[in-house]
A = this chain, B = another copy of it.
Amino acid sequence: MGIVYEQRNLTVDGAMTVLEGARRKASEMGVAVCLAVTDQSGTLLAFARMDGAPRLSIQLAQDKAYTVTAFGLPTSAWYPMLEKVPSLLHGIVKADRLMVFPGGVPVTLDGVPVGAVGVSGGTVEEDDEIATAGAAALVAA
């Protein structure tokens, strides 16, 4: 790859687009969640805690987005891998910021990952649906 490469990354405007797309979805569903959007390096770009969302979710949402960028996978992909490798299942979950349940989703543009969105506060299915709606909002922008 030579000594440098070009990485495409979300701007704050892009991040706000994702955040608002996810927040709209959460409002429609009637679920109060925390929403975090990071760039491709896992750095926080935008965050919102909806009224009544769990305070513990402030960190969980950020860690979900971080985990996505750290491995390039949605957080929902982790458990199906882990349950086949018991040593990993028992041994890796404690890793700092690693989130192995749904609610963290890559944000892509033209198929290229540019960041991630993490959602926490609803059921894991709700969190994942809201995060997915956030990622979709960027493509539609």
Q: How far is the CA of A90 from the CA of B71 in the complex (A)?
A: 19
Nearest CB in chain B to that of A41: its residue: B41
> What is the copy number of this chain in the assembly?
4
Residues on B with beta carbons closer than 8 Å to the beta carbon of A3 = 10-11, 13-14, 17, 109, 138, 141
Over the window 120-141 of chain A, the binary record of Cβ atoms lying under 8 Å from chain B Cβ atoms (1 yes, 0 no) is 0000100000000000001001
Question: Taking the complex as formed, is A28 at the interface, i.e. its CB lies under 8 A from any CB of chain B?
Answer: no
Closest chain B residue to A15, Cβ basis: B48
The 8 Å CB contact of A16, one of B48, B85, B95, is B48
Within the complex, what minimum Cβ distance (angstroms) separates A31 from chain B? Answer: 13
Q: Contact partner of A99 among B50, B89, B91, CB < 8 A?
A: B91
Q: Which of B1, B7, B11, B89 contacts A13 (CB 8 A)?
A: B1
What are 20 A-B pairs at a CB distance below 8 A?
Answer: A3-B11, A3-B14, A3-B141, A4-B14, A5-B11, A6-B8, A6-B9, A41-B42, A41-B43, A41-B55, A44-B47, A46-B49, A47-B47, A54-B72, A55-B70, A59-B95, A60-B95, A87-B124, A88-B101, A91-B101
